[in-house]
Structure 1
Amino acid sequence: MNRTIDDGRKQSGEKSDFKKVNTEEGNLKDASPNSSPVCSQHEKAMISRQFIEAILQVPVSLCTVCIEEIEACLKSHLPDFLKENFPFFITESMVLSFEPLVLYHITDFLSLNFNLFLYDNKSRAMIAGPYLTCQAGTDFCEQVLQDNGKNLSLLVPFHQFCLSLPIVGNSYMLEAMRTALKVVTGYGDEVPYRHYEPQARYSQEVSSLSPQGVEEATMELLEHRYYYEKLLLQEVAQGNQDMALRYYRQFSMDSRSIVRTEDPVRTSKNLSFSLNTMLRKSAETAGIHPVHLDIISSNFAMLIENSNSLKELEEFKSQMISVYCRFVQKNRLDQYSPIIRKAITYIRIHLADQLTLKRISEGIRVSPSYLSRLFNQEVHESISNYITRARIDKAAELLSFSRMSVQNIAFYVGFGDLNYFSRCFKKHKKKTPTQYRASSAIGA
């Protein structure tokens, strides 16, 4: 069984070569020569390895900087079925690109994570991994296998292997490796950080393409991204949460293949803001009034801006999709004519006011008799009955998810008399307000 050290964000693994995806630039300097006559850089590396393995339970390898030895070290941590079914993720060109005094984070095709840095005048490497940054459930394992075009007969052994891996948040792992780099090399400045992850499985090795080929590959990525974006927004407009989340996962992978900045948190925030805007506009097509959507949108915008965690930002994206879908499912009005949409929206916005047929008809500028007839025809109940039901539904929501008193809730939803509110509530919900609160998922 694995041990969770901290939550972190999974970088998605996909089948192709690797591209550098983000960099924190720093001023590189030569490390000060090791003045100790009894402790070489390699001896310090061996001590640091023991520390990381003991504290984080992540395996650490020390090897010479050549592709053959690096491959042998890392494959020693993988079961045979993975070595036989997946290509090795570090290439000769990657090894040649490694620089001293830089910390590298590499995510492979299986979403396994590795950190490494060079020491001993670029002749040796310290490599930590494999580890995961989040729990690997069967859904995660199934998605990884599908992304790599592998048969699901590998699902059970792959899931068992993932359960044996340590789970460590990237922030913990990177801090431990930064400390090790400084201890081993004597480097005293800020350590630059670079991250490599697989390109999308359908993309070619862009570095070997002609300028025209690069443009075609980029266009292919964009086409995939906007294809899944369109499907995602269609499902949100219908309130289909499960399908929307499924298309979002694919859209998210395609977005990571295209968007690259030097600040991964800022990138995630920008994507979150864009997704929030798209979801709001999609929900609006279902007839949801912008006033209601603005409340949802503003709350998520504030959460996004105040977050500095990649894992938290990724969770916000899924939460946004779920919230918008549930809101559409509950409040969609696109099945009604424009006049009835206006009437229902007016009722919802002015729920605490003294609502009458006359006041509503004046508010949306239509005759009372026409509105009454059209409302009965489309909604299949009178306006007065609809108002009462809407007030009771809102009261039930507040009883479940707020600490407001029953009396304040009654006034908040437009009931001036507490006894009348209680009678109406019991008629619709078969329980008194107090009984309903006691039986709800979240009590007072």
Structure 2
Amino acid sequence: MLEAHERAGLAGQFIEALLQVPVLCCRAGAGELEAGIKRFLPDFMTNSFPFFLSREMMESLEPSVIYHMTDFAGLNFQMFLYGEGEGEPAPSASLYALVAGPYLAVKPDEPFCERVLQENGQSLSLMVPFRQFCLGLPIVSTSVMIGAMRTAVKAVTGEDGDILYRHYEPREKAGQPPLYQGGGEEAVMELLEERYRYEKLMLQEVRQGNTDRALDYFRQFSRASRSIVRTEDPIRTSKNLGFSLNTMLRKSAELAGIHPVYLDIISSNFALLIENAYRMEEVEDIKFHMIGAYCRFVRTERLDQYSPLVRRAVTYIRLHLAEPLTLRQIAEGIRVSPSYLSRTFNREMGESVSNYIAGARVEKAAELLKFTGLPVQNIAAYVGFANLNYFSRCFRLHKGMTPTQYRNRKS
């Protein structure tokens, strides 16, 4: 099992790859955090703006809570503390921190930069370098960042319940303790909690392959998200949410027993579709198609109700469908005796290995007939039927019609 530091490193790589936000993992001490965060800031920033984390503030932080901190320069950081072991309460001396940032929630135009400099009593001669630095930072909405950090907290700490979120901003005058923002933040938190509740319900339905209910929860999830997300680049935000949704759907399908080989293909294809989309409507349509596709795949390919032996056998068959397959070959491939495999497969699947192979080949052929223009004889060979007549007999047995009739009906 991976250590907490290793899990934190992987979570940090996930955030950096998904959102281009730098991530720091270090001991949760004020000195260590200040030194680490300042590595991401130019010298003129560290010399002109006070550091926003004090020792007193660090001592007040709790493990497994997401802290969103906006510093004196308007830069955003999100952080959580974790112990050395999964789920273990740890004394403050052994706590570590994962910090994501700096990033901005809005585009840094001239009025933004001028306001930050004036509020901190800095000369406007810093306008050019300050704005150039800000323009190089990633722009990420609060809700997207919280979603990524929430995933990271669960991956690192093993927390399974709701993850608390708190937002701190510095006082206007340097030297005063940070101020916890209440009031409007409570309303945002209610929306976030509603959003995460619908997210959880949606993923539960995806794991069961229930398309209609999953889409219904996704619509409610989207409405809650629109109430929170406010950015100047809505298409980029929608794409980032699409990438996060793709990752969550993949995880739900994996929990349903879908082999990672298939999930790699599905998730990679949808990631390309999302990134290459040019219009907001196109990105939103892809999200709905993505949920439907994962649900359909779970319904047709899920294996979580079977024993590990049968799951290995089915996966082997699916990966070698185009090759000549025999009971002995499959048994050798998964390192089990043919007789034991045959008995177990028949008991759990309700059919013999040979019948399952024929059915799987017919289903794959039906998919190719529906979505490609390949000749019937090519499809037969592609799915492992060496004899065209035998392919036609098997297809008629499973589908009640010939391959040509099936293609014409579907078209």
Name the counterpart of 1:7: none
Q: CA deviation at 1:431?
A: 1.9
Structure 1 Cα separation of the partners of residues 195 and 213 of structure 2:
16
Instruction: In structure 2, give the amino acid aligned to 1:273.
Output: F
Among 274, 284, 308, the residue aligned to 1:304: 274
Instruction: In structure 2, give the amino acid aligned to 1:272.
Output: G
Name the counterpart of 1:344: 314
Q: CA deviation at 1:394?
A: 1.1
Query: What SS does structure 2 have at the residue aligned with 1:381?
Result: coil
Name the counterpart of 1:364: 334
Structure 2 Cα separation of the partners of residues 365 and 252 of structure 1:
47
Instruction: In structure 1, give the amino acid aligned to 2:380.
Output: A
Alignment check: 8 A CA contact 1:372 1:382 kept: yes
The question of 1:315 aligning with 2:285 is answered yes
Name the counterpart of 1:236: 206
Structure 1 Cα separation of the partners of residues 263 and 181 of structure 2:
44
Name the counterpart of 1:398: 368
Alignment check: 8 A CA contact 1:261 1:267 kept: yes
Instruction: In structure 1, give the amino acid aligned to 2:388.
Output: L
Name the counterpart of 1:386: 356
Structure 2 Cα separation of the partners of residues 386 and 23 of structure 1:
55
Name the counterpart of 1:328: 298
Instruction: In structure 1, give the amino acid aligned to 2:212.
Output: D
List per-residue Cα deviations over 1:90-121 (Å, max 9, x = no partner): xxxxxxxxxxxxxxxxxxxxxxxxxxxxxxxx
Q: CA deviation at 1:430?
A: 2.5
For residues 429-440 of structure 1, the aligned pairs below 5 Å read 429-440=399-410
Q: CA deviation at 1:27?
A: 6.9
Consecutive unaligned residues of structure 2, counting only runs of 5 or more, are 1-104, 112-179
For residues 137-216 of structure 1, the aligned pairs below 5 Å read 211-216=181-186
Query: What SS does structure 2 have at the residue aligned with 1:258?
Result: coil
List per-residue Cα deviations over 1:30-83 (Å, max 9, x = no partner): xxxxxxxxxxxxxxxxxxxxxxxxxxxxxxxxxxxxxxxxxxxxxxxxxxxxxx
Instruction: In structure 1, give the amino acid aligned to 2:224.
Output: D
Alignment check: 8 A CA contact 1:260 1:267 kept: no
Query: What SS does structure 1 have at the residue aligned with 2:227?
Result: helix
Name the counterpart of 2:226: 256
Q: CA deviation at 1:236?
A: 0.3
Q: RMSD of the alignment, in Å?
A: 2.0
Q: CA deviation at 1:213?
A: 2.4
Name the counterpart of 2:347: 377
Name the counterpart of 1:417: 387
Name the counterpart of 1:354: 324
Alignment check: 8 A CA contact 1:237 1:283 kept: yes
TM-score (norm 2): 0.56
Structure 1 Cα separation of the partners of residues 274 and 209 of structure 2:
23
Q: CA deviation at 1:258?
A: 2.8
Change (3 A) 1:424 1:211: closer
Q: CA deviation at 1:422?
A: 1.8
Query: What SS does structure 2 have at the residue aligned with 1:212?
Result: coil
Change (3 A) 1:254 1:366: same
The question of 1:291 aligning with 2:261 is answered yes
Higher relative contact order (CA 8 A, sep 6+): 1
Name the counterpart of 1:275: 245
Structure 1 Cα separation of the partners of residues 219 and 228 of structure 2:
15
Q: CA deviation at 1:399?
A: 1.2
Structure 2 Cα separation of the partners of residues 259 and 361 of structure 1:
53
Q: CA deviation at 1:395?
A: 0.9
Alignment check: 8 A CA contact 1:288 1:328 kept: yes
List per-residue Cα deviations over 1:372-427 (Å, max 9, x = no partner): 10000000110001001111111112112210111110110001122221222222
Query: What SS does structure 1 have at the residue aligned with 2:232?
Result: coil
Q: CA deviation at 1:217?
A: 2.5
Query: What SS does structure 1 have at the residue aligned with 2:305?
Result: coil
Sequence identity (%): 68
Structure 2 Cα separation of the partners of residues 418 and 269 of structure 1:
45
Query: What SS does structure 2 have at the residue aligned with 1:262?
Result: coil
Consecutive unaligned residues of structure 1, counting only runs of 5 or more, are 1-21, 29-209
Structure 2 Cα separation of the partners of residues 390 and 426 of structure 1:
14
Q: CA deviation at 1:354?
A: 1.1
Alignment check: 8 A CA contact 1:406 1:434 kept: yes
Instruction: In structure 2, give the amino acid aligned to 1:337.
Output: S
TM-score (norm 1): 0.52
